[in-house]
Structure 1
Amino acid sequence: MTNHQLLALLKVNMGLPLTPELAADICLAADRLATLIPAENIQRIEPEQHGDLAFSVERIEGITDEIEPLHRAHWDETEEHRHELPFNPDYETFIRYERAGRYVLFTLRSETRLLGNCALYLDKSAHTQTLIATEDTLYLLPEARKGRVANCFVTYVENAMRLLGVSEINISVKTVNRAERFFRLLGYRHVENGLTKILAVENV
């Protein structure tokens, strides 16, 4: 993954004195991920209305405070195996990936109220060189789990991924709910098993 901005900055300033301003620019460029999906491509994903519910793409950068309670509810419901660890989302990292077109957040709202979200990391497979989406979070509040809402929301996400050229979606499901059966009905296949072990470590 080449950081073209960093290379261009170094090339232009090669042989020049390293000023504090240039050093700051280099640090910023070095921390920036190379863009995978241009922002204008993601902006082509149109919102959809399903009854009184709206599906759309939003930037986590703009709704961090609003989405944190939803992430907390998700954590409390499905992450019991990690409850000895702190709930401490790194929103700066989410934003960094989002700015690079490597993280897309889908939301489900009733009027203005946030009822659900699905976030996917995007990357290019080193094995096939095709785009892969990996689910980071998919959660709907209980009041939004009615009828075919979840089905329609996932279909919306899948169609958006097709629009971006993604050919594979990988998701994980927890054993504490019935999500695996739901995704099997949508055509997802059980292709591997994952195991987790929480290690006791010293605070560093």
Structure 2
Amino acid sequence: MTNSRLFAVLKANMGRPLSPELGADILIAADWLSPLMPRALIDEIPPEDYQGFTFAVEHIGNIIEEINPLHRAHWDETEEHRHGLPFNPDYETFVRYERAGRYVLFTLRDEGKLLGNCAMYLDMSAHTQTLIATEDTLYLLPAARRGRVAMLFVAYVEQSLRQIGAKEINITVKTVNKAGRFFRMLGYRHVENGLIKILEVENV
């Protein structure tokens, strides 16, 4: 059976260099990653301003060099249990999921400077057949943790996810900080505990 969608993408981009974005389009068309949410619907989420801070949805492919140091700061602060493993984000995979409407990146900026981000994976629950959002990363630099900024940023994320039809948000919090108490104050419930074990290579 001919994959007309893949054929159309290849025909429309004949002769163009293979960029991460085009590669993502080809993978989607080839049904390696089935689309979930129309990207246009996500792009309709409007930004919001609060006392000089701007909350918005952005495309991760456009800000990879800018967001990488933020991811590194997050890794250094909360991922000590993984510090025996390499810090090596796969941004091409993030782009691929984003193009398929399965990944949303929310950003927090102060006069244009990136100070925080929240990335959510989107999927349909096999248990309820409703749209769920699962947090991949949520991190604010100390400069964005004062006052009500963090609380309002989370509220923006929640409202945006509600706007595109999400019924449930799943987040994880680390034991190295007080994020758990913060989220319980915002109405999140502690419903499970997670454990991690790093499998070290044994000397043979």
Query: TM over 0.5, yes or no?
Result: yes
Question: Share of identical aligned residues, percent?
Answer: 70
**Separation in structure 1 between the aligned mates of residue 53 and residue 114 of structure 2, nearest angstrom:** 10
Give the 3 Å change call, closer, same or farther, for CA 67–11 of structure 1 in structure 2.
closer
* Match of residue 179 from structure 1: 179
Runs of 4 or more consecutive aligned structure 1 residues displaced over 6 Å after TM superposition:
none
Q: Would you say the 8 A contact 1:116–1:140 is kept in 2?
A: yes
Q: Tell me the SS of whatever aligns to 1:65.
A: helix
Instruction: Within 5 Å, give how 1:89-168 maps onto structure 2.
Output: 89-168=89-168
Letter in 1 for 2:110: S
Q: Tell me the SS of whatever aligns to 2:127.
A: coil
Letter in 2 for 1:34: S
**Separation in structure 2 between the aligned mates of residue 193 and residue 154 of structure 1, nearest angstrom:** 22
Give the 3 Å change call, closer, same or farther, for CA 73–31 of structure 1 in structure 2.
farther
Q: Would you say the 8 A contact 2:6–2:30 is kept in 1?
A: no
Equivalenced residues, count: 184
Q: Deviations over 1:75-134 (max 9, x none)?
A: 000000000000000000000000000000000001110000000000000011000000
**Separation in structure 2 between the aligned mates of residue 152 and residue 11 of structure 1, nearest angstrom:** 45
Letter in 1 for 2:123: D
**Separation in structure 2 between the aligned mates of residue 11 and residue 119 of structure 1, nearest angstrom:** 32
Letter in 1 for 2:180: E
Deviation of 1:68 (Å)? 0.1
Q: Would you say the 8 A contact 2:35–2:102 is kept in 1?
A: yes
**Separation in structure 2 between the aligned mates of residue 11 and residue 144 of structure 1, nearest angstrom:** 46
Q: Tell me the SS of whatever aligns to 1:166.
A: coil
Instruction: Within 5 Å, give how 1:56-71 maps onto structure 2.
Output: 56-71=56-71
Letter in 2 for 1:51: Q
* RMSD between superposed Cα atoms in Å: 2.0
Q: Would you say the 8 A contact 2:131–2:165 is kept in 1?
A: yes
Give the 3 Å change call, closer, same or farther, for CA 31–88 of structure 1 in structure 2.
farther
Taking structure 1 as the reference length, the TM-score comes to 0.85
Q: Deviations over 1:116-153 (max 9, x none)?
A: 00000000000110000000000000111000100000
* Match of residue 15 from structure 1: none
* Match of residue 189 from structure 2: 189
Q: Would you say the 8 A contact 2:3–2:30 is kept in 1?
A: no
**Separation in structure 1 between the aligned mates of residue 162 and residue 58 of structure 2, nearest angstrom:** 18
**Separation in structure 1 between the aligned mates of residue 121 and residue 39 of structure 2, nearest angstrom:** 14
Of structures 1 and 2, the larger Rg is shown by 1
Give the 3 Å change call, closer, same or farther, for CA 116–33 of structure 1 in structure 2.
same
**Separation in structure 2 between the aligned mates of residue 8 and residue 125 of structure 1, nearest angstrom:** 29
Deviation of 1:11 (Å)? 10
**Separation in structure 1 between the aligned mates of residue 7 and residue 109 of structure 2, nearest angstrom:** 47
Taking structure 2 as the reference length, the TM-score comes to 0.85
Deviation of 1:30 (Å)? 3.0
Give the 3 Å change call, closer, same or farther, for CA 11–143 of structure 1 in structure 2.
closer
* Structure 2 alignment gaps of length 5 or more: 9-22
Letter in 1 for 2:149: V
Letter in 2 for 1:74: H
* Match of residue 36 from structure 1: 36
Q: Deviations over 1:30-54 (max 9, x none)?
A: 3642111101110110000001100
**Separation in structure 2 between the aligned mates of residue 9 and residue 185 of structure 1, nearest angstrom:** 47
Deviation of 1:201 (Å)? 3.1
1:54 aligns with 2:38: no
Q: Would you say the 8 A contact 1:53–1:110 is kept in 2?
A: yes
